[in-house]
Every structure is written in structure tokens, then in C-alpha cells.
Structure 1
Amino acid sequence: MLYQQVDTAVIDGDSLPWVPFTPYADNVLLKYFRLDPVRGEWIVQMKAPIDMQLPRHHHTGTVIVYTTEGKWKYKEHDWVAGPGSVVYETAASTHTPEVVSTEGTSGYVQTLVIVTGDLVFLDGNDKVVAIENWKTALQRYLAYCEKHEIPARDLTAFH
């Protein structure tokens, strides 16, 4: 049975590549830890420079963001998330991310993000321009590994 094969596990982040978030932002880098096809959940570390430009987006599920370096916010809110802060986004929320400061850091805002469901990118008229989810993330990861001759891990299983 599957549950007998599931055990406490660790994934060494140093063994995973930083993958550019193309075609949206080549300067935003993602390190995928887990891409769950059953729950539609993705666990990813994100690095974004001060000039990050990601489009406004809508979440179909919840999102939890833990900030480890730098400061960022959503244009639609007056709060700023910095190191040690946790942002909880409700399902059906829509916002536009922006980096506030990378001062005193590695030059990036760094976050650990747990996304459930789809990330729907919108244009200025609220028309859908792209949809990201665990499956598109897996395709991006596998294509990056193939292009750079990196052995791909099975990110759909936590081991």
C-alpha cells in the first residue's frame, strides 16, 4: 500500500537547480521542492531582484509565503513582508507583487512559497493571459534539467 511507502523525508535544497520563471520573468528564479498532482500543491523557493516584474495574478487556492530575505508587498495592500514574516493568501485573491528592498541581502528577495491550485495571470482588463500550476511547473523544471543536462528528480514524490 502507498501509505506504507510514505515516511519522513528531507530534500536537500542545494541539490536542486534554480530555474528561471520563463516566459514571465527570466530574472525571477524558482527552486521546486514538491509538485503534488493529487492536491495541486507546489512548494517552491523564489528569488526575485529589485526590478522584478510579474503580472497581476489570481489564486484559485490558498498560498502561504515565508520571507527569508528582503522586503516585498502587493501593490493592492499597504503592508510590507520582511524576513521572518508569513503572508497567508486566501483562495480567490488577486494581487500584483513588487519587491520593496533587497538591501542587506544577497541582492534578492527570497521566499518559501506553498501554493495550492492555479496561479492565473491577468492583463490590464482582467483577461486571462496564462495559467501556472503544479503541471506547468513540472514541465518547466524538466525542460530546464534536460537543457542543462541535469538529472531530474521526481518532484511529484516527497523523498
Structure 2
Amino acid sequence: MAVMTAPPSNKAAIVDVKFPHKALVDRLSPGGRYIDAQTDVDSPWVPFGENAAIKHLAFDVRQNLFSNILWVKGPGVIGTHLHRGTITMVCLEGSVRYLEYDWTATPGGLILEVPGESHTLVTEHPDGCKLFGWMQGPIDFFDDQANLVDTADVWWFINHYETYCRDHGIAINPKLYV
């Protein structure tokens, strides 16, 4: 058995791969896309409380998946929440920790969360933090007495994005919907 140590070609050229279902993919797939996360060209920063904002990057209603960048603008907290699906995040800037764990995420660090865990996100970094995330399923938010306050799922995040865009005269970007 051959072991692949690197991709088999270094020539920058389009290769016509003979995939048996290519016509179906061409007809039914929404296709690849690029979302500019560095500017507001594709998605604005939408306020999320007084000290945070969200840049929405993708919504998949079929799988209840959503992607965004959470920006906590300075030292602060995102209250206790319970994930009902899998969360994958990368710390882009600053640092962040959960009160329930003994680690702190720093730029480039990967955060994995599994369904059924609740935690409280805290950043003490003077510049806060930015977290890129792919999230699946609902997130239940609780007050400090463990009372359910709200549930955020793909529909909540779509409403969050679209309401802000409508209220501020910003065109809703169809590239965000996969």
C-alpha cells in the first residue's frame, strides 16, 4: 500500500475529475463560496448584548448549523448556556475561558464542545476575544437562577441577522444561506 506524503501534484491547473454524479452536483449543490470575514462587505457586526457582537457567516436550516464570529469587545461574560449540539470554535484574538474548565483559549486554539454541557464564557483580556465557530443545534441560555431565558438555534440566528439588516438598510446576503 502506497503512503501519500503530500498531494500528488504541484501544478496549479484545473483537472477535470471524472465524478459519476457531477451533473447532479452541478444541478443541486449550492456550490462553494467565499465570505469575507475581515470586512463588513458580506456580513455586518450585529450587536449581541452591550459588550458583544456577532458576524454571521453561514446558515444551514436543513441541519440546524450556523457559523459566526463572536466578538466580546473587552472583559466580559456570555452567560451560562447549554449546548444541545456540537460546537467547534477557534480563538482568533484575545483569550477566553469557561468558569467550568481549567484552561484558557488563546489565538489559534481549538475549542470543542459536546451536547449536554453547560458553561459560562468569560474573557478578562483587555481587548476581549474573537471566536470563530461552527455550531449545530440549539443553545439554551439561562439566568443566574438557572431559569431558561431563551433558546438560540439556526432560526434565532437568521432572525438576529435579518432583523438587524432590515433595521439598518443593509441588503440580506444570500451567500450566507447554504
Q: TM range, normalised to the smaller chain?
A: 0.7 to 0.9
Query: Helix, strand or coil for the counterpart of 1:65?
Result: strand
Query: Structure 1's 140 and 2: CA in aligned 2 closer, same or farther, altered over 3 A?
Result: farther
Q: What is the match of residue 107 of structure 2?
A: 83
Q: What is the match of residue 56 of structure 1?
A: 80
Deviation at 1:73, TM superposition (A): 0.3
Task: Work out which structure has the larger RCO, using CA pairs closer than 8 Å and 6 or more positions apart in sequence.
Answer: 1
| RMSD between aligned residues | 1.7
Q: What is the match of residue 41 of structure 1?
A: 65
Query: Structure 1's 141 and 17: CA in aligned 2 closer, same or farther, altered over 3 A?
Result: same
Q: Which amino acid in the other structure matches residue 173 of structure 2?
A: R
Identical aligned residues as a percent? 24
Q: Which amino acid in the other structure matches residue 103 of structure 2?
A: W
Query: Structure 1's 88 and 150: CA in aligned 2 closer, same or farther, altered over 3 A?
Result: same
Deviation at 1:129, TM superposition (A): 1.2
User: TM-score when scaled to structure 2?
Assistant: 0.78
Q: What is the match of residue 141 of structure 2?
A: 121
Q: Which amino acid in the other structure matches residue 57 of structure 1?
A: H
Map of 1:106-145 to 2, 5 A cutoff? 107-145=127-165
Q: Which runs of 4+ in 1 moved over 3 A?
A: none
Q: Which amino acid in the other structure matches residue 110 of structure 1?
A: K
1:20 to 37, 41, 47: 47
Q: Which amino acid in the other structure matches residue 93 of structure 1?
A: E
Structure 1 unmatched runs, 5+: none
Asked if the contact 2:77/2:120 (under 8 Å) is kept, the reply is no
User: TM-score when scaled to structure 1?
Assistant: 0.87
Larger radius of gyration: 2
Query: Helix, strand or coil for the counterpart of 1:55?
Result: strand
Aligned residue-pair number: 151
Query: Does 1:93 pair with 2:117?
Result: yes
Query: Structure 1's 101 and 154: CA in aligned 2 closer, same or farther, altered over 3 A?
Result: same
Deviation at 1:155, TM superposition (A): 5.5
> Could you tell me how far apart the structure 2 residues matched to 1:154 and 1:47 are?
23
Query: Structure 1's 126 and 2: CA in aligned 2 closer, same or farther, altered over 3 A?
Result: farther
Alpha-carbon deviations, 1:50-81, whole Å to 9, x = none?
Answer: 33232100000010110011010000111000
